[in-house]
Amino acid sequence: LLGIAVSPQFEADWTIYLYRTAPDGNQVVRAELDSLAATLGPLEPVVAGIPAAGNHNGGRIAFGPDGMLYIATGDAARPAVSQDPTSMAGKILRVTPDGAPAPGNPTEGPVWSLGHRNLQGAVLGPDGRLWTSEHGPQGGDEINRPEAGKNYGWPVITYGENYGGGAIGEGITAKAGLEQPVFQWTPSIAPSGLAFVKGERYGKAWQGNLLAGSLKFRYLARLDISGGRVVKEERLLPDLNARVRDVREGPDGFIYLLTDERNGRLLRLHPG
């Protein structure tokens, strides 16, 4: 299981969407929730045939304010496919809830943006736009705001060309026709799940602040967003000693962290 999203019409259809690796590739499926039995019904294919491998499967899904499903995929350990517009690997895909290419896509297919390496987080921001986290090859992990038809560089721009070992947010080399990240980490922190949080009920103005889990260094990053750019990183929970796989703000205003490995836990934290 790689990703999960709730139907935007959940109160009417009780449907859950799942992104998973199956024997014949990565796929998005959906199922109706039986709330009384707390079980899912039969899994129905939505999008199938996304290339899979032992790693680089990407795997986050999110519904946009347009009602379309955005699927963040990895390059399946085959970098060249990220630049192949006919492949669903190394892409952001945009489809209808039934899995058809969404109206307004830059091509007739499901591809929304290309040139991605291994997307690990996807969230809709306060601006209604998609924000993603992505693993670099040896450094240069990225935060992006993918746009329709844009190319985000992998593997045309590699670690050595694009991220010369500078400080956070520095050392990015531009190439014509390729987009630059909103933010990057060198060395790599292996960012994972993302969440925008507000927390106004606790007297803290978090609007525009992005949380990102670190798999490598086992902390929670808080990124200050201003004008669509990251202006500061604060590293929270440095003694957590657990890989942060996902982060969400709950309807109760608290922050939920999902950690993995043998000490996997679901943590509920005050936003302060």
**Active-site residue set:** 56
CA dihedral 189, 249, 240, 229 (to 10 degrees): 30
* Nearest-angstrom CA–CA distance, 97 and 7: 8
Q: Do 226 and 233 contact (CB within 8 A), yes or no?
A: no
- What is the Cα–Cα distance from 180 to 197, expressed in whole angstroms? 25
Those residues with Cβ within 8 angstroms of residue 206's Cβ, 6 or more apart along the chain or in another chain: 197, 198, 199, 200, 271
CA distances to 47, 125, 138, 153 from 146, rounded to whole Å, are 20, 12, 22, 12
- Tell whether the torsion through CA atoms of 187, 190, 195 and 200 is positive or negative: negative
| Nearest alpha carbon to residue 141 among 152, 149, 151, 130 | 152
Greatest CA separation found in the chain? 55
Q: Show the tokens assigned to 136.
A: 């670099």
Measured distance CA(163)–CA(266) in Å, rounded: 34
